[in-house]
Amino acid sequence: RKVLVLHGPNLNLLGTRQPEIYGYETLDDVNNALREKAVMDGWELNSLQSNHEGELIDAIHAARLDGTLAIIINPAAYTHTSVAILDALNAFEGIVYEVHISNVHQRESFRHHSYVSLRANGVIAGLGTQGYHAALDAAIKNADKA
Ligand code: DQA
């Protein structure tokens, strides 16, 4: 059983980028904690961060073919702009959970709309990096049911 965690642009700066909004944990901290949890449940967790839209799309395409059961994605700024990521996710048949570290609905109005939400089975915003853990718990539970 495989889950893919995708992080969009600028999230490589997690921990140092606007920490008052995104916190002090690094992306490695987040990925390592998620992987530990996944492994305890007998899952394999792959993660990718990219500042390039096409690279995220390629990873979604690969997930269609390698038995990935769920994608947890924080598309970052592409959330609000990318029809191409939405289209790629529409071609993936498993579970999709969209995660935002910050409460996007409390921020600028351009962050209120998400293309990815049209596909996501669930959306988490404003829980900090804990949101990824909530999404992973749900992915494990729901894929086990299916
Ligand atoms: C974000 C919110 C987006 O609006 C922003 O562009 C990000 C991060 C979040 O995790 O809160 O880069 O997805």
SS3 content of the chain, % helix, strand, coil (to 5): 50, 20, 30
User: How much distance in Å is there from the Cα of 104 to the middle of ligand 1?
Assistant: 7
* DSSP at 1: -
pTM: 0.97
The answer to whether the CB of 118 falls within 8 A of the CB of 80 is no
Other CB atoms closer than 10 Å to residue 119's CB: what's the count?
19
* Pocket perturbation via mutation, ligand 1, pick of 53, 101, 108, 112 by most ligand atoms within 8 A of CB: 101
With tokens 């305890």, the residue in question is 40
Cα 103 from Cα 95, distance rounded (Å)? 22
Q: Are strands 68-74 and 2-7 parallel, antiparallel or unpaired?
A: parallel
pLDDT in tens, the chain (146 residues): 999 999 999 999 999 999 999 999 999 999 999 999 999 999 999 999 999 999 999 999 999 999 999 999 999 999 999 999 999 999 999 999 999 999 999 999 999 999 999 999 999 999 999 999 999 999 999 987 76
Could you tell me which residues come within 8 angstroms of residue 108 by beta carbon, excluding any fewer than 6 positions away?
Answer: none
* 100 included as an active-site residue: yes
Share of the chain above pLDDT 90, in %: 97
Report how many domains make up the chain.
1
Q: Give the start-end residues of each E strand in the chain.
A: 2-7, 44-49, 68-74, 95-100, 122-125
The domain that holds 47 is classified in CATH as 3.40.50.9100
Atom number, ligand 1, closest to the C-alpha of residue 9: 12
Domain housing 141: 2-145
pLDDT in tens, 72-92: 999 999 999 999 999 999 999
